[in-house]
Structure 1
């Protein structure tokens, strides 16, 4: 489906009780909104699929220059929906999974990615931000890489990118212990670009920065962004390795029990 400049698209594949992804087009800007506020904007596989498709479509459209990702309600994204994860255990961590497709879509994107974070960014909601060019957050927001406690490993190449950015010890603190970072702490570490007092101030600043990006020379902007991307180990390969490791761990009794304790489901390994 072609993104249109005059309407909002609520994708059927991610609508209904499971939540939805809203896609808004305004000129050269596409805004993606995770719209499941009653569940902390936890992502189902259908929502991941909608996000992956929306990013790929926007990136393929030469008229789109900026993609903004945000969340509705009180949270940015509380990570994966564990009930949906358990219900699709055979495909949730497959190498063709919509989760991995979304992560690879944002990594491969040639379009500038901006995140507007208000509230919790947990698990995959936090690791996805590592691939955004600019991350703006409210003061009440926090980041948490909550994977080990569930019996799985980080995703979105966080095991590669966080050590590159922060060094091995600080990355270990965040990934092994699942330490919670306030928005101010995340900004000090360079994981968040700027922090604002309220959602209103956040939205105003994001609009200002998007306008500045759209006014900049497109060729120079894209070339500079490409140069800023880290070289060396391939994050796409690390994403696949992380996914395969979590898939193996998901088959163990311990991980199955940990996830079941969060969802109320049976504790046997899927």
Structure 2
């Protein structure tokens, strides 16, 4: 159940969203996306919450989207509403600061969501990968824009095209993360930063974040990617990639 795989807690004015599916490397299911979207909406509407913090259990931050969900969509066997788009939109629209503690590896959306965060703390030995092309799909979460803007075209294309991992220490050196730390120090550092942000004047913080982000451009790119992504999910390339992955 999503309530087991996503843990929501409060520490004063900080709302913590915690991936809690370590047996599946914190792969994100449709229900988990829904729980996270609801949590962000709650944070945005509650004046007592000033900061959102993402953490996780285990040695993976997140393995990204659950491939079984992708495979079901590719085969036309997925019923009901899809919550991933809602989660991605709420991340882009969020006016309150979002902090991430990446104490382990991150794959797919587990990496691209970091470009929508305001502060990121990462383990030195973490490996961040974006294997969208290998899966027969395309980047999502406006990452075809955010990764290029932050890392530059050649570095971003190596991550997308060659599937090269971005190591935690390089994520800090290249401007994705604020600091690369020993794994055990990541979450305490992120929690301290979240509390520091929560102590600042709230409306000044929100206006500053809004001025720093072009939400309309991010939303437009995310929707453009989403249309192509949906088409690619039904492609023979994607079906073959998902089948190969699930046979491992």
TM-score interval w.r.t. the shorter chain? over 0.9
Residues in 2 aligned to 1:69 and 1:204: alpha-carbon distance in whole angstroms: 12
Q: Secondary structure at the match of 1:55?
A: helix
CA positional deviation for 1:165: 1.9
Query: Can you list the C-alpha shifts for 1:108-141, whole angstroms capped at 9, x where unaligned?
Result: 0111100000111111110011100000011121
Residues in 2 aligned to 1:32 and 1:172: alpha-carbon distance in whole angstroms: 30
Aligned to 1:253: 236
- State how 1:28-67 maps to structure 2 within 5 Å: 28-67=13-52
Q: Secondary structure at the match of 1:247?
A: helix
TM-score, reference length from structure 2 = 0.93
Residues in 1 aligned to 2:102 and 2:178: alpha-carbon distance in whole angstroms: 11
CA positional deviation for 1:159: 0.5
Kept in 2, the 8 Å contact 1:138–1:197? The answer is: yes
Residues in 1 aligned to 2:207 and 2:178: alpha-carbon distance in whole angstroms: 21
TM-score, reference length from structure 1 = 0.85
Query: Can you list the C-alpha shifts for 1:167-221, whole angstroms capped at 9, x where unaligned?
Result: 222221122222101100111110111111132x222212321222122222222
Q: Secondary structure at the match of 1:140?
A: coil
- State how 1:226-245 maps to structure 2 within 5 Å: 226-230=210-214, 234-245=217-228
Residues in 2 aligned to 1:81 and 1:203: alpha-carbon distance in whole angstroms: 24
Q: Which runs of 5+ in 2 are unaligned?
A: none
Residues in 1 aligned to 2:13 and 2:53: alpha-carbon distance in whole angstroms: 11
Q: Which runs of 5+ in 1 are unaligned?
A: 1-11, 266-270
CA RMSD in angstroms, aligned pairs only: 2.1
Kept in 1, the 8 Å contact 2:142–2:218? The answer is: yes
Residues in 2 aligned to 1:53 and 1:91: alpha-carbon distance in whole angstroms: 25
Q: Secondary structure at the match of 1:69?
A: strand
Quick check: 1:163 aligned with 2:144? no
Aligned to 1:268: none
Aligned to 2:104: 119
CA positional deviation for 1:91: 8.4
Residues in 2 aligned to 1:205 and 1:249: alpha-carbon distance in whole angstroms: 39
Count residues in correspondence. Answer: 247
Kept in 2, the 8 Å contact 1:37–1:73? The answer is: yes
Choose the corresponding residue for 2:171, options 171, 186, 191. 186
Aligned to 1:140: 125
Residues in 2 aligned to 1:50 and 1:101: alpha-carbon distance in whole angstroms: 10
CA positional deviation for 1:264: 2.9
